[in-house]
Amino acid sequence: TSLTNGGLNLHSTVKRKLDGEKDYVFDKRLRYSVRQNESNCRFRDIVVRKEDGFTHILLSSQTSDNNALTPEIMKEVRRALCNASADDSKLLLLSAVGSVFCSGLDYSYLIGRLSNDRRKESTRIAEAIRDFVKAFIQFKKPIVVAINGPALGLGASILPLCDIVWASEKAWFQTPYATIRLTPAGCSSYTFPQILGVALANEMLFCGRKLTAQEACSRGLVSQVFWPTTFSQEVMLRVKEMASCSAVVLEESKCLVRSFLKSGLEDVNEKECQMLKQLWSSSKGLDSLFSYLQDKIYEV
């Protein structure tokens, strides 16, 4: 029971993990074969595969480390969600290439832009987050998400906006917002207390408490945990079976489950992004963020 305020060694841990697992063969091959396919070349930081009955979006960032999110990458995901909502796919599978699912907002990008033009960039980035999160809230077909490794910050916060969350034993989850001097995003201020109970949710949001895949599963954030070696196959097997269901039943079932939450989630999303914008456009909020992040950079 050592002090688990993961915000402190966030980036170094992730980097170490990345190094140790460079040879994650399955996804690398997948990426290769996908990149051959010309219809997928419209995206730079994600890969989109049209499969039989479902669309597969893979986070595969070329412009950030560890699948960190920038406004540009979030826009690509939104575009892919928009395409998938209109085509004949019955559901969406979201996963990641590499050993990290998503490390959340790209902080070096954030520092760079906010130092440049605090007022303009705080609005632009907050709106990018808002629209990204909104795209998940409004997506009508079931979203299955497969978490192969760490999911941090916004990368963890959006999971309750997806419908089924399958995780590899190697996955872990952390949203150290307060530690990084940020307020919650991705509707986590609402969905985390709802799912995990207020006590654990706040420990995650305020103290950066890290959840293992098993903990996240036993507390309701994750549907089921699988062994890393067969993770992709297990997920594919299940997704294909789901995709054999009737499209109407899938969409109407999701509509029933989500209808009571949708408008509430949209409000939360607006409020959270409004708060981030305020924080980033105030010199005090920004100083506190900068001094924290710069300490971390020197530390690493």
Binding track, positions 133-172, relative to a second copy; x by CB under 8 A: ---------x----------------xx-xxxx-------
Per rule CB under 8 A, is residue 222 in the interface with a second copy? yes
User: 15 with 152: CB under 8 angstroms?
Assistant: no
Q: Alpha-carbon distance 52 to 29, whole Å?
A: 20
Tokens 């809230």 sit at which residue? 137
Pure H helices in the chain = 10-20, 25-36, 71-86, 107-116, 118-138, 154-157, 188-196, 198-207, 213-218, 231-243, 247-258, 262-281, 283-299
Minimum CB–partner distance for residue 98 and a second copy (Å): 23
Q: Among 197, 262, 263, 299, which residue sits at the site for a second copy (rule: CB under 8 A)?
A: 197
Closer residue to a second copy (CB): 95 or 183: 183
Closer residue to a second copy (CB): 71 or 142: 142
Q: Which of 126, 152, 247, 274 is nearest to 204 (CA)?
A: 152
Q: List binders of a second copy among 241-280 (CB under 8 A).
A: 241-242, 245-246, 248-250, 252-254, 256-257, 259-260, 264, 268, 271-272, 275, 279
Q: Which of 141, 133, 185 is nearest to 161 (CA)?
A: 133
Closer residue to a second copy (CB): 127 or 287: 287
Q: How many residues are given for the chain?
A: 300
Q: List binders of a second copy among 86-105 (CB under 8 A).
A: none
Per rule CB under 8 A, is residue 205 in the interface with a second copy? yes
Tokens 């899938």 sit at which residue? 250
Q: Among 41, 82, 237, 297, which residue sits at the site for a second copy (rule: CB under 8 A)?
A: 237
Per rule CB under 8 A, is residue 109 in the interface with a second copy? no
Q: Measured at the alpha carbon of residue 177, what is the angle toward residues 195 and 101, in degrees to the nearest 5? A: 70
Q: Which of 216, 213, 168, 172 is nearest to 192 (CA)?
A: 216
Minimum CB–partner distance for residue 289 and a second copy (Å): 9
The 10 Å CB-count burial string (b at 16+, else e) for 261-290 is beeebbebbeebbebbbebbbeeebbeebe
Catalog residues that contact a second copy under the rule CB under 8 A. 1, 3, 5, 142, 159-160, 162-165, 177-179, 181-184, 189-191, 193, 195-203, 205-207, 209, 218-224, 226-227, 230, 234, 237-238, 241-242, 245-246, 248-250, 252-254, 256-257, 259-260, 264, 268, 271-272, 275, 279, 284-285, 288
